[in-house]
Structures are given as structure tokens and as C-alpha cells.
Amino acid sequence: MSLAAPTLGLDNTHPVSQLRHRLALGVQWMDAVGARPALGPWASELLAVGERPLAQPLDVHPLARHALRHAGRLAKVLARAAQDRLDSPPATPADDPTRLELRAWGHAGRSSGGYRPGEDPRLLVPRRLALLPVLADGLPAAGLVNRRSAWLWPGARYPLPAGASALRGRVQRGADLAHAVPVPWCRLLVTRPGAAPPNPATETALGWGHGDDRGEFLVVLGPEAAGGGAALPTALALRLWVYLPPEAPFDPAQPLLSLPLEVAEADDLDVLQGQRVPPGFVRRGPIDLSPGPGRVLVLDDAQLLFA
């Protein structure tokens, strides 16, 4: 009598699960300061697969989770892109034909019809990202490997907690204030000065900020800005570094067209968290500041005017 186990096949087994939907990409938009899901209604849309334009809204789920299902036209375009990648391996992630380019923005409850500047609550600053899906045999890998968490930074109307230390201002370009124009989508970094010559790469980072389409920003500082002593100092020693994007055409009616593109691989946290300056930005500063702790320092326009 043979004790060998029978060979399992379709005729003597029963399915215990079934894959109904395959996730091409899932993004949870996070409030960078509060470490919680993004405030308010939030919309995001796919713009392209590599160099192939493909406009499609992402499905919105609770807790600022947005999903892109592998179905319909997206599935067909992504299959062609995956074959292109096999035929001609890309030199960099920015050249990957399977990258999914999307942008996200806040709205006042009506997400259809695209972005409207007048309906942006300006709680958080919009972003434009290119994310690389993990593929297996040309299809998005099953499971959770194509989920990402991307950070959004405070906008001009971000609700600050009581006693917060923060910097607020507007970045502009021009020969003088009379001819100044806002600089959209700038980046800002606050550091603690050290004994060495000023250098943001060697100084302690205390806070990041993203400027909006009007050049306005809000940088919220954490408790480490106070220096960790037993008593609060009367003033904080800070350095503000400003990163200006390349000059480009700007349409105030469609400001998201000029959003800088940031390319992030699955584990590229600096980009996902908005703490890496996009390519082509130019550093200015530092601006030395000494605000009091627990206060919001509003910088004068003259301090943030760049030729």
C-alpha cells in the first residue's frame, strides 16, 4: 500500500482566495508636520506613464489614501512601457518608461474638473511626483509593495498649534520691491548655525518648507530648535536657506503646470518626504535669524527678495 500523497491539481483542490484587483500604485498623503494623514479634502491624478500622457484620477479612500488600479487603458499602456524597459534598460529612474507621474492638491470639497486656485484651502502645498511601480512579469506585483507614503508641507493657512515656533514669509524675484514677482514652488531649509563656515550640508536641519504658487511659505520648527537645554532660550539662533526653482513660464490660472517634478524610487525617502531639493534649484542665503521660541516670525519682503 502506497503512502505517497496525491498530486494536487485543479480537479482535487478548491481556491481559498482570488485576486480581484491589482494595485498599480497606492499613495497615502501625509501631513509632514503632524505625521498624520493629510488635512482636508485632497485630490490626485495620474498625468503620464513615462513619456506617454495618460490623464486619470486616482480613487480616493479614507485616511488620505489614493489608489490607481491596474485596469483599462492604464494596464495596456503600462504593459507597453514594461516591454520598452526590457528592450532598452533606462540609465536612471527619471528615464524609466514605467514611471507613473502624478500630482496632488487640496480642494474645498469639489475635486472634479481639476485644480482651481480659488478653491485651494492652502492647508498644504501641492506636489508632483514620478513613482516607479514594482513589476513582476510586466504586471504590478501583488501585495503591498506598490504602496507609498508621500509628505505634504504646510501651506499659508496651515493650523498651527498653540506655542509653535515657525517662520512665515513670501519669496520674490526682482531688482527691487517695486518690480518684485513671487517665486512659485521654492524650497526652504532652516538649520542651526555651527562653528564652521555656513553650510546646510553640515549644519543640523531644524525644519523644511515648501513654497506655494504665490511664493508664500510656512516653516514649522520642532522642539529641537530650542537646543535641548533645561530652560528655553530667549532667542533661537537659526539660518534660513532658500532654494529657487529655474525661471519658467507661469500661468496663475493654471499654476500646477509649473510644479517641479520629483522622481522617487520605492525606498527614496528623501524625495517622498520632500526633503531633497529638486534638480535645477539654486541655493540662496543664508539669512541669519533670531526669533523668540513659541512665536511665529513673519519675515519682511526685503529679506526674501532675490535678484
Which residues, in sequence order, are CB contacts of 253 under 8 Å at separation 6+? 117
Confidence band, pLDDT 50/70/90 cuts, at residue 53:
very high
Decide if 188 contacts 243 (C-beta within 8 A): yes
Give the pLDDT confidence score for residue 224 in this predicted structure. 72
pLDDT at 232 over 70: no
pLDDT in tens, 168-223: 999 999 999 999 999 999 999 999 998 889 999 999 999 999 999 999 999 999 87
pLDDT at position 240: 97
Task: Using the predicted structure, report yes or no on whether residue 110 has a pLDDT greater than 50.
Answer: yes
* Average pLDDT value for the chain: 89
For the stretch 10-24, pLDDT in tens is 566 555 444 456 899
**Nearest one of 150, 112, 304 to 214, comparing CA atoms:** 304
The architecture CATH gives domain 165-245+281-306: Sandwich (2.60)
Alpha carbon distance 105, 124 (integer Å): 8
Q: What is the pLDDT of residue 17?
A: 44
Candidates 2.60.120, 3.30.70, 2.60.40, 1.10.287; correct CATH number of 23-152?
A: 2.60.40
Please state the length of the chain: 307
> What is the reported pLDDT for 182?
96
Summarised one tens digit per residue, pLDDT across range 123-167 is 999 999 999 999 998 899 887 899 999 999 999 999 998 888 999
Q: What is the mean pLDDT of residues 50-78?
A: 94
pLDDT computed for residue 112 by the predictor = 61
Q: What is the pLDDT of residue 171?
A: 97
| Region(s) of the chain under CATH 2.60.40 | 23-152, 165-245+281-306
The whole-model pTM stands at 0.87
